[in-house]
Amino acid sequence: MRAEIRPYRISVGEDVLDDLKSRLRRTRWPEAELVGDWSQGAPLKWIKDICHYWAEVYDWRQREARLNRFTQFTTEIDGQSVHFLHVRSPEPDAVPLLVTHGWPGSVVEFRDVVGPLTNPRAHGAGDVPAFHVVAPSIPGFGFSGPTTEAGWGTDRVARAWLSLMDRLGYERFGAQVQDEAGFAGARWPLHGAQARAPEVLRGRALARGEAGTRK
């Protein structure tokens, strides 16, 4: 079923990780730049340090485990597989909150705020609003993909996110957006939802304190 929502768990094969490390270790390096700044591009030492970090230091399994703490799903929207975190709050009056990562970026950006947003009491925040957090990966980023066609700009992302929230049963929700993704939030008033539900969107950009109506 196209509207099916499927549980998802990140699990990258060991062969994939071994191949990546092997390719990093076998990099054929160019001669160093002739200047002491970035005017000729990224300094060779800087690039080497990054490659060394990825090949010898970075612990993907640890990162994988940290991300898998959050309940994740995939669903098909407009012909595209969309990955998203959906972490519900234990608070009975929690507000659905759609958060969108940067462009480029990933849902990793929210790893330290999902807990405090969904369960503020457990994080020492006291009697403050709690949220059911929905954090989708923009098509072409993270685990939403691969994309099969061009055209996933802000308009299409805005329509997809409205479809996702509808599919999850959220008629009213708040939204957080940033940088390029902010334009997706700004497009919601153009996609015909006001006639269906005049008060669907409680806050188009909570970080800015703007009030909005999902139209």
How confident is the prediction along the chain (215 residues), in pLDDT tens digits per residue? 458 999 999 999 999 999 999 999 999 999 999 999 999 999 999 999 999 999 999 999 999 999 999 999 999 999 999 999 999 999 999 999 999 998 778 999 999 999 999 999 999 888 899 999 999 999 999 999 888 888 888 888 888 999 999 999 998 888 887 765 445 544 454 444 443 433 444 433 333 333 333 33
Give the pLDDT of residue 32: 95
| Burial degree of 162 (CB within 10 A; 0-12, 13-18, 19+) | buried
Give the pLDDT of residue 127: 86
Same domain, 98 and 144: yes
Same domain, 80 and 140: yes
Give the pLDDT of residue 102: 84
Nearest residue to 63 (alpha-carbon basis) of 17, 6, 115: 17
Nearest residue to 105 (alpha-carbon basis) of 44, 180, 165: 180
Bridge partners of residue 131, in order along the sequence:
95
DSSP 138: P
pTM: 0.80
Give the pLDDT of residue 23: 97
**Of 64, 96, 111, which one is at a domain's C-terminal end?**
64
Number of folded domains that form the chain: 2
CA 15 to CA 12: how far, in whole Å? 8
- For residue 23, the surrounding DSSP H or E stretch is helix 14-25
Residue 20 lies in a domain: yes
Same domain, 93 and 47: no
SS (H, E, C) 75-113: EEECCEEEEEEEECCCCCCCEEEEECCCCCCCHHHHCCC
Residue 86 lies in a domain: yes
Residue type, 195: A
Residue 213 lies in a domain: no
